[in-house]
Every structure is written in structure tokens, then in C-alpha cells.
Amino acid sequence: MSITIYHNPRCSKSRQTLALIRDRGFEPRVVEYLRQPPTRQELKRIIDCLGIAARDVIRSSEPEYRSLGLDDASLDDSVLIEAACEHPRLLQRPIVLRGERARIGRPPEAVEDLLT
């Protein structure tokens, strides 16, 4: 079963997670999501695999979060997913998928159960 990592090479946690995956003998498909953002369908699938709410995949510390008004608790998942696809810096990183399971690699060890 293949592994995909949504990766930001400038992020230390993302680099550490990629190294961990490779150290375990896997060569993942690396998606540099800032250059190749997920589609709405892909992001919806990722969120479903993570088993979290769309809001939980959004980085609230990014300037876009406030400038787009994403702190409004009444926004539904479709608005948040749209914003994350249009502004991929908003996505938590890294995100690792294997089959129907996914983890956010913060800390990198959070992906360990996907590698067994």
C-alpha cells in the first residue's frame, strides 16, 4: 500500500516526517502542496481519513486565517475546505496518507502507526 505525504520542504516537522518514513524503508509519493494544492475532493477525502473536522486541518496562526474571516465559528466545512484549497498555506503539515488512514505529522512520530 502506497504512502503519500503532503509536504512543505521549508517546514522542519515535514522534513523530519519525510525522513522518518524513508528511514522505515518506504519511498512515499511526495506532494508539495504549496505548489500542487489538493482539490476540494482530495481535501475532503484527507479530512475523512484523518477523522477530524475541517477546521482541525486549518492552521489558525497563518495571516490568511484572520484576513479571510475563518475564525467565524459559524462557517461550515465547505467554506473551510474551499479556503484551504485556495490558500494551501492554511493546511496543517505534513499530512501522511496510507490507504484509508491518515495522520498529521506533528510530532513526526504521530505517523508511526501508518508505517507498520
Q: How far apart are CA 111 and CA 59, in angstroms?
A: 19
Q: What is the largest CA-CA distance in the chain?
A: 43
Q: Residues 11, 49, 52, 79: which is the catalytic one?
A: 11
CA-based radius of gyration for the chain = 14
Q: Are 3 and 97 in contact (CB under 8 A)?
A: yes
Is 85 one of the annotated active-site residues of the chain? no
Give first-to-last CA distance, the chain, whole Å.
Answer: 11
Q: Each residue of 11-32: b (16+ CB within 10 Å) or e?
A: bebbebbbebbeeeebebebbe
The residues assigned a catalytic role are: 11
